[in-house]
Structure 1
Amino acid sequence: MDTSFASASILPPVLDGTNYSLWKVNYIKSIDERTWQRVINGWTPPVMLDQEGDNLPKPETDWTADEVQNSNYNSKALNAIFTSVDMNMFSLITNYTSAKSACDALQRHCEGSESVRRTRLRMITSKFEMMRMEESENILDYDRRLRGIANEAFSIGDPISNERLVSKVLRSLSERFNIKILRNR
């Protein structure tokens, strides 16, 4: 019996700088919830107070079981990030020791600031509103294009509702085929 696929796992998309929204969608979260929490909440190496009351790095031999476990989750997340980016993206994050810091750096590089995100969202919204079904296009192709725009909006954090998508399809069909759509009142 061929069992070559029995232990296969799904490989993440490789982040190359152009596909951040696809890359970020739940890859690390699928590994382990606690690993995902290190990306969300961050991680800093444990510290201890010296005789003057200053924080010093705590020797690893003195870490508690919980501190070791949190470090391991951070390491798992960093490994997942490092192994799922291309060399250009890797060079941006190679010196990070926190999975959160590495992810934040990638997000800033790929998505830009909050004002850039809002501008992208306005452009996507405009593209959605202006989109029309082409003469040579069938409903499946139109729906695919429409959902592509909806996925872009979702990846930025502002999903387009199914109701709005259906409404857009119905309006486009009525325009294309000169059909009046009756509304329930």
Structure 2
Amino acid sequence: MMNFIKGTDYESWRIIVKGPLSITTVDVLGNTKVKEEDDYDATDLAKAQKYSRAMSFLQRGITKEEFSRFSSCSSAKQILDSLELAYEGTSQVKKYRIDLLTQQYEMFHMERDENINDMSARFSNITNELKNLGKSFEAEDLGSIIFEKLN
């Protein structure tokens, strides 16, 4: 989802990550207050439009069945955080998944009666999941593991 949003409109991704939209003004006493929509100027309307677009990206990325889980979220950042929690879990769950996948990576071998394409696809799934969880590898490491497992 992150790559889709960044690729479509990078500014929308930045808006999502920054958090809720708050268009403010400073009154004559120097106090900051939230601006009423009726008082928005062209710049404010452009910001609101971008924020709505960011929300739309996230909402279109979830199924109808999932929508009820995220419908109470009032900001794009809340939706993103809820999606991360739902699909990646807490930091403890994430660490457990990294440990488990790292073990699979380190113990990787070609299965009996497995062809090279299946083995490569299985290896790619492990490394892609690890990358999605924040663990990265050098290209040489990945290639050498595959070559090593073939010999």
Question: TM-score, normalised on structure 1?
Answer: 0.72
User: Quick one: which of 116, 137, 150 aligns to 1:139?
Assistant: 116
Partner of 2:73: 96
Q: Structure 1: which amino acid aligns with 2:131?
A: F
Stretches of structure 1 lacking an aligned partner (at least 5 in a row): 1-23, 175-185
Partner of 2:11: 34
CA 1:25/1:56 → structure 2, altered by over 3 Å: closer, same or farther?
closer
Contact 2:20/2:77 (<8 A) preserved: yes
User: Quick one: which of 6, 24, 34 aligns to 1:57?
Assistant: 34
1:165 to 2:142 alignment:
yes
Contact 2:54/2:76 (<8 A) preserved: yes
CA RMSD in angstroms, aligned pairs only: 2.2
Partner Cα separation in structure 2 for residue 97 and residue 71 of structure 1: 14
User: Quick one: which of 79, 93, 117 aligns to 1:116?
Assistant: 93
Q: In the TM superposition, what whole-angstrom CA distance separates every residue of 1:49-83 from its partner, at most 9, and x where no partner exists?
A: 66887654311122233322222111111112112
What fraction of aligned residue pairs are identical, expressed as a percent?
Answer: 28
Stretches of structure 2 lacking an aligned partner (at least 5 in a row): none
User: Quick one: which of 39, 63, 73 aligns to 2:50?
Assistant: 73
Contact 2:16/2:54 (<8 A) preserved: yes
Larger Rg: 1
Partner Cα separation in structure 2 for residue 53 and residue 87 of structure 1: 45
CA 1:25/1:61 → structure 2, altered by over 3 Å: closer, same or farther?
closer
Alignment coverage as a number of residue pairs: 151
Going by fraction, where is helix more abundant, 1 or 2? 2
